[in-house]
């Protein structure tokens, strides 16, 4: 059974790999045997060091995914340095908070460009390579707000709803060509993106009160789901959005 989850010889690109969820997923994939191209606006040096400590290769790819300019370069540098591209984890994302009546066009565009536009075009670039090889795994990072509306984060909600739809569309187009496209929807995870929520006593209490597991998630809680969706164990899983949420959606 463990062989189904073995990623030995596979190469994974993980965006936003310098911290939080991206770092945790990169380490989980490396722990299962994958080599890692760690993509980030700031160098993911800590992540790379931890990957190499696990006995896997790691490269740093500097890329600001607020535009699609670095997309082709990410794929090219990964292929040149690591010799392949088998897994893509589209994790990089940002959030902007304001009441909808006050939300600015700049904050709308910044979030949509990073969280949705770059996700599609990086999937496209990786997908072209994977289709040529006849196999590949693409894992998008969705959100609870792929399913729900939230408050005070209109562009984030729109972007993550779009990630859910895009995941299904790409699965429809590419599944028969050997590419599994799925998503992970993290619940409320203790990262820098949720600092503001955890610092607000009322919001923190209301969130914790709804989570059946009774705690905020840790980024490492997402590792098993990522390994599953990156491995042959998920070869007949397509267009699925896997919630890792401590039971939030079941409440």
- 109-154 pLDDT per residue, tens: 999 999 999 999 999 999 999 999 999 999 999 999 999 999 999 9
Catalytic one among 12, 78, 156, 179? 156
Domain that holds residue 181: 2-250
The answer, yes or no, to whether residue 1 has pLDDT greater than 80, is no
Whether residue 239 contacts residue 14, with contact meaning beta carbons closer than 8 Å, is answered with no
Alpha carbon of 150 to those of 55, 161, 165, 199: distances in Å?
Answer: 41, 11, 18, 18
User: Residues 74-93: pLDDT tens digits?
Assistant: 999 999 999 999 999 999 99
> Is pLDDT at 171 greater than 90 in this prediction?
yes
Q: What is the mean pLDDT of residues 9-16?
A: 98
- Quote the pLDDT of residue 193: 77
- Alpha carbons 155 and 163: distance in angstroms, whole number: 12
CATH number where 179 lies: 3.40.50.720
Work out the percent of the chain whose per-residue pLDDT is above 90: 96
Give the model's pLDDT for residue 54: 98
Mean pLDDT calculated for residue range 190-208: 90
Question: Is the pLDDT at 207 greater than 70, yes or no?
Answer: yes
Total domain count, the chain: 1
Look up 156 and say whether it is catalytic.
yes
Contact 127, 174 (CB under 8 A): yes
- For residues 206 and 68, give the distance between their C-alpha atoms in angstroms, rounded to a whole number: 37
Contact 193, 216 (CB under 8 A): no
Question: What is the model's pLDDT at position 194?
Answer: 86
Q: What is the reported pLDDT for 79?
A: 98
Q: Is 50 helix (H, G, I), strand (E, B) or coil?
A: helix
Asked if the model's pLDDT at residue 176 lies above 60, the reply is yes
Mean of all residue pLDDT scores within the chain: 97
Rounded mean pLDDT of 24-46? Answer: 97
The pLDDT value recorded for residue 192 is 82
What pTM, to 2 d.p., does this model score? 0.96
């Amino acid at each position: 059974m463990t062989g189904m989850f073995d990623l030995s010889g596979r190469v994974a690109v993980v965006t936003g790999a310098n911290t939080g969820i991206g770092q945790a997923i990169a380490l989980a994939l490396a722990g299962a045997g994958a080599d890692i191209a760690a993509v980030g606006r700031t160098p993911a040096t800590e992540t790379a060091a931890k990957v190499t400590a696990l006995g896997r290769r790691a490269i740093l790819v500097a890329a600001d995914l607020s535009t699609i300019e670095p997309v082709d370069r990410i794929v090219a540098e990964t292929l040149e340095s690591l010799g392949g591209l088998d897994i893509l984890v589209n994790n990089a994302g940002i959030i902007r908070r304001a009441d909808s009546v006050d939300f600015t066009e700049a904050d709308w565009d910044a979030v949509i460009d990073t969280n949705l536009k770059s996700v599609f075009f990086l999937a496209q670039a990786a997908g072209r390579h994977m289709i040529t090889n006849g196999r590949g795994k693409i894992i998008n990072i969705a959100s609870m707000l792929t399913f729900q509306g939230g408050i005070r984060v209109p562009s984030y909600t729109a972007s993550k709803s779009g990630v859910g739809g895009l995941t299904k569309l790409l699965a429809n187009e590419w599944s028969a060509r050997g590419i599994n496209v799925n998503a992970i929807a993290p619940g409320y995870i203790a990262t820098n993106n949720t600092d503001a929520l955890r610092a607000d006593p009322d919001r923190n209490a209301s969130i914790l009160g709804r989570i059946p597991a009774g705690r905020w998630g840790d980024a490492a809680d997402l590792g098993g789901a990522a390994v599953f969706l990156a491995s042959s164990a998920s070869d007949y899983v397509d267009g699925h959005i896997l919630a890792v949420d401590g039971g939030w959606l079941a409440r």
